[in-house]
Amino acid sequence: MDGQMIVTKSPAELDAMAASGDLLVQVHELITSLVRPGITPLELDRAAEEMIRANGAVPSFKGFHGYPASLCISPNEMVVHGIPGKRAFVEGDLVSIDCGVTLDGWVADAAVTHEIGTVSAEATHLREKTLESLLAAVEVCVPGNRVGDVGHAVQTVVEDAGLTIVRSLVGHGVGRTMHEDPQVPNYGKPGRGARLTNGMVIAVEPMVTTGGHEVVVADDDWAINTVDGSLSAHQEFTIAITDDGPRVLTPWHASVKTR
C-alpha cells in the first residue's frame, strides 16, 4: 500500500512481544477479579499501574498524547478512551477496559468488555457477539490474507447479529510503538487492503454498538460516546501473523490460549 510502512518482527521479537502480552493478560485477569458494583475506575487504574510497574514494565497509555491514566474505562454508551474517574460501577453496567503494556520496549494492547453484576440481555448479546467477531478475525490472521479479510470477518459476525460497527475508529499495527501501520478497520471487503505477511503484528479491536455507528468526543476531549446513547462494547487482541498460523500475543480468552 502506498505510503505505509509495515514493520515485521523476527521470531525472537515476537517472543519478546508475547512476554509483554503475557503481563498484559495478568493485568486483565487482575481487573477481572476486581470488577464489581461499587468499585471505581480510579481504583482499577491504580491496581493495574501498580502491577505493570512491579513487573518492570510501563503503562503504554500513560502520557500518550497527554493521556493521564494506565487504563481506558468506558461504560455503557462510551465506546473507548474513558479516563478512569470516581463514579463507581453499578449493577447492570457494561464496561470496556483497555490497557497497554510496554515491556522491554515492546507494546501489547488488549481490551475486554465486562458485565457488572447482572446486565440486560441486550448488553450480553452485544458483549458476546463483539467477542465472537474478534475470535472470527483471529482465524483469518494468516499470511496471504489481507487487512480487508480481517475487517470482513468482524463485520460479518457483527452485522449478522443485528449490531453496528463503529467505523471511525480502527485497529492498528503494534510493535515498538502502540500505533503502527497498517490501519485495521472493523469492516472491509475480502481480498482488499494490505497483505498480511509472516511477522506482522496487528491489534484487532472491534468497537460495536446496539444502535448507530456515529460517535462524538466528550467534553474532556478523550472519551468517545455513541451519538444516539446506544450501548457499546470493545474487545481487543494483539495478534501476530506467522507461517504457523495466528498467534494471539494477549491471550486473555481461553479459546486462544494454546496457540
User: Shortest gap between Cβ of 93 and Mg ion (angstroms)?
Assistant: 19
Q: Any contact of residue 196 with Mg ion (CB under 5 A)?
A: no
Q: Any contact of residue 17 with Mg ion (CB under 5 A)?
A: no
Q: What is the distance between the alpha carbons of residues 93 and 61, in angstroms, rounded to a whole number?
A: 24
User: Shortest gap between Cβ of 181 and Mg ion (angstroms)?
Assistant: 14
Q: Any contact of residue 71 with Mg ion (CB under 5 A)?
A: no
Q: What is the distance between the alpha carbons of residues 229 and 172, in angstroms, rounded to a whole number?
A: 26
Q: Any contact of residue 180 with Mg ion (CB under 5 A)?
A: no
Residue closer to Mg ion, measured from CB, 130 or 229: 130
Q: What does the DSSP assignment read for 45-108? A: HHHHHHHHHHTT-EETTTTGGG---SEEEEETTEEE-PPP-S----TT-EEEEEEEEEETTEEE
Q: Are 37 and 91 in contact (CB under 8 A)?
A: yes
User: Shortest gap between Cβ of 174 and Mg ion (angstroms)?
Assistant: 7
Q: Any contact of residue 109 with Mg ion (CB under 5 A)?
A: yes
User: Shortest gap between Cβ of 98 and Mg ion (angstroms)?
Assistant: 4
Residue 38: how many CB atoms within 10 A of its CB? 11
Q: Hey, which residues between 110 and 139 contact Mg ion (CB under 5 A)?
A: 111
Residues that bind Mg ion (CB under 5 A): 98, 109, 111, 203, 205, 236
